[in-house]
A and B are shown apart, each in its own frame.
Chain A
Amino acid sequence: MEKQEDVLILAIESSCDETAAAVVKNGRVVLSNIINSQIDIHTLYGGVVPEIASRKHIENINPVIELALKDAGVTLDDITAVAVTYGPGLVGALLVGVAEAKAIAFAKNKPLVGVHHIEGHICANYIEHPDLEPPFAALVVSGGHTHLVMVNDYGEYEIVGRTRDDAAGEAFDKVARAVGLGYPGGPKIDRLAKEGNPHAVEFPRAHVEDSPYDFSFSGIKSAVLNYINQCEMKKEQLNKTDLVASFQNAVVDALVSRAMMLVRERNIDKLAIAGGVASNSALRSAIQSACEQNGIKYYSPSPGLCTDNAAMIGSAGYYEYIKGVRHGYDLNAVPNLKLGERV
């Protein structure tokens, strides 16, 4: 049998405040992975400012792509196809990557593949786990999304549960702000919580009536805010360390219990986590031990591949490419693109 040609994907990601480009071989091997983070600028404003993010993307995008090609030791002529995140995300930010990717694909006559950002987060798992193949269950926990998903095949996703209000990452960021840790809150809570008692305060584990797989984090968040207010009123010293440890524990508990329910009820033997909050150390160890207890194989990207990057878009883009997905030069950004949806 003739040896199959390698498929090299140039991937571009600009959905939020990271300008990123990567070259990925056959969906699994990362030849380069360049990320230009704007976090320092947005920290001045206490959160991502869409217009500023878009302005930074257009300034940074060419050097980021050039470095990705150089690091991979390839030129555009070696590239099989160009993949780009076209949603969900900030529309102005997405449009920079989409316009750039389309122009490159046109100029070099390469196929263009639009990729769903959250599907990219899930596919980050393929990069470091050669043995991971669908079907598997995935828990997606990021800044804007909290989804419990069945990955039935490559590029085939079924949303089983979702948050009814705040995303997990959003809850982390809001609580961090309330206790004065600043932006971005997730990593800061993670670090501080290591020193705290996770059972100091018992926060509610919200259940969504009739939707056992759905999440709700606004209740936990409000309970934390109430607790802070009560401490202030009683003029008690607030133990931030115990508070964030208890908050984190409540969130982790809600996430782990739903995920384990899904793998049990559907008889799935593989569970992957994905998204920025998947880099949370408490969540990682809780899921890992729950999986070990239940004989389930557990997968997670290393922390650097959990947050936004283009390598994950290159992996997702590869599986779309080999399925024959192609986008035209009229590809637009779709800020509210749904998981599994194809536009």
Chain B
Amino acid sequence: MRILAVESSAVTASAAILTDDIMTAEYTINYKKTHSQTLLPMIAEIFKMTDTKPDDIDVIAVSVGPGSFTGLRIGVATGKGMALALGKKMAAVPTLDAMAYNLYGTDKLICSVMDARRQHLYNNIYYFDEENSLHKLRQQSLSSYEELTAELNELGKEVIFIGDGVSAAGRFFEEKLTCRYEFAPAHITTQRAASVAFLAKKQAERGELVDAAAVKPDYLRPSQAERELAEKQEAETDA
């Protein structure tokens, strides 16, 4: 089975090809150029370098979020277009789960954090069991710095943070966390398509692949207009 995985949920653009158990290629750029300009040329490049033809791909995996709304859509539309053209199934991989996989096998808690602006983080908390299966402690969520810090203090276990939420909230954590913690180093803290591909393989094995038409980003945050409309309607029903 050959999986093409794409990841564009934040600043990082990444593409990978996983062939059975071999990571045939991975190309990651963490630079401010827009994903619209980088992502497909990167995919084309790894295909060329590895003599892969689009028809060789069995599954197209995308990191579906949360993350930058536009970034997610570029990756998801790229995946959906390829899946439509090739008549292949897709794997919709939660971004935070894929990030946690960068820390495969650790005995500490893993907290994936993505900067969601306004002092908030998209986040989830994970651990690997004795068989090295990944588990989440709860559903992924959009939390304020305070909320997440309080939750981790409550848990009281040693935690490794992963993701760009650290550059946003690192100072806050340093001041307010009472549990032992560490920030993951640069080579594992960014989103990687290789991790997305690996989780996609697990989904394929469990029979969880989906039709391309049904795949959409998981934003975790309604648009501003929807939020404002909901607030207005709430105010009206309260009155």
Which residues in A have some Cβ–Cβ distance to B below 8 Å?
Answer: 44-45, 49, 51-52, 54-55, 57-59, 61-63, 65-66, 76, 91-92, 95-104, 106-109, 328-333
CA distance A108 to B55 in the complex (A): 9
In chain B, positions 62-102 with a C-beta closer than 8 Å to chain A are 69-70, 73-82, 84-86
Q: List 22 A-B contacts (CB under 8 A).
A: A49-B223, A51-B69, A52-B225, A55-B216, A55-B217, A58-B76, A61-B80, A92-B69, A95-B77, A99-B73, A99-B77, A100-B80, A103-B79, A104-B82, A106-B54, A107-B82, A107-B85, A108-B54, A109-B54, A330-B37, A330-B41, A332-B34
A58 and B73 within 8 A (CB): yes
CA distance A55 to B70 in the complex (A): 9
B38 and A330 within 8 A (CB): yes
Closest Cβ neighbor of A66 among chain B residues: B84
B225 and A62 within 8 A (CB): no
B37 and A55 within 8 A (CB): no
CA distance A108 to B80 in the complex (A): 13
Tell whether B1 is near chain A: CB-to-CB under 8 Å: no
Partner of A103, one of B69, B78, B223, B224: B78
In chain B, positions 194-237 with a C-beta closer than 8 Å to chain A are 212-213, 216-217, 219, 223-226, 229
B216 and A330 within 8 A (CB): no
Given contacts A55-B69, A100-B78, 6 further A-B contacts (CB under 8 A): A58-B73, A91-B70, A100-B84, A109-B54, A329-B40, A330-B40
CA distance A101 to B84 in the complex (A): 11
CA distance A76 to B74 in the complex (A): 22
B80 and A103 within 8 A (CB): yes
A52 and B223 within 8 A (CB): yes
Tell whether B144 is near chain A: CB-to-CB under 8 Å: no
Which residues in B have some Cβ–Cβ distance to A below 8 Å?
Answer: 34, 36-41, 43-44, 54, 69-70, 73-82, 84-86, 212-213, 216-217, 219, 223-226, 229
Tell me which residues across on chain B come within 8 A of A109, comparing CB atoms.
54
Given the known inter-chain contacts A52-B225, A107-B54, please indicate yes or no for A102 contacting B73, CB distance below 8 A: no
CA distance A63 to B80 in the complex (A): 11
B70 and A92 within 8 A (CB): yes
Tell me which residues across on chain B come within 8 A of A107, comparing CB atoms.
54, 81-82, 85-86
Tell me which residues across on chain B come within 8 A of A76, comparing CB atoms.
85
A95 and B85 within 8 A (CB): no
Closest Cβ neighbor of B81 among chain A residues: A103
CA distance A65 to B81 in the complex (A): 10
Partner of B225, one of A45, A65, A100, A106: A45
Q: Smallest distance from the beta carbon of B106 to chain A beta carbons, Å?
A: 34
Given the known inter-chain contacts A62-B212, A333-B36, please indicate yes or no for A99 contacting B85, CB distance below 8 A: no
Closest Cβ neighbor of B85 among chain A residues: A107
Given the known inter-chain contacts A95-B73, A107-B85, please indicate yes or no for A332 contacting B80, CB distance below 8 A: no
CA distance A328 to B36 in the complex (A): 11
The residue among A52, A59, A103 with the most chain B CB atoms within 10 A of its own CB is A103
Partner of A99, one of B36, B41, B217, B225: B36
Given the known inter-chain contacts A44-B229, A62-B84, A95-B36, please indicate yes or no for A106 contacting B73, CB distance below 8 A: no
Closest Cβ neighbor of B225 among chain A residues: A49
Tell me which residues across on chain B come within 8 A of A65, comparing CB atoms.
84
Tell me which residues across on chain A come within 8 A of B74, comparing CB atoms.
95, 99
Tell me which residues across on chain A come within 8 A of B81, comparing CB atoms.
99-104, 107
The 4 closest A-B pairs by CB, nearest first: A103-B81, A107-B85, A99-B77, A51-B223
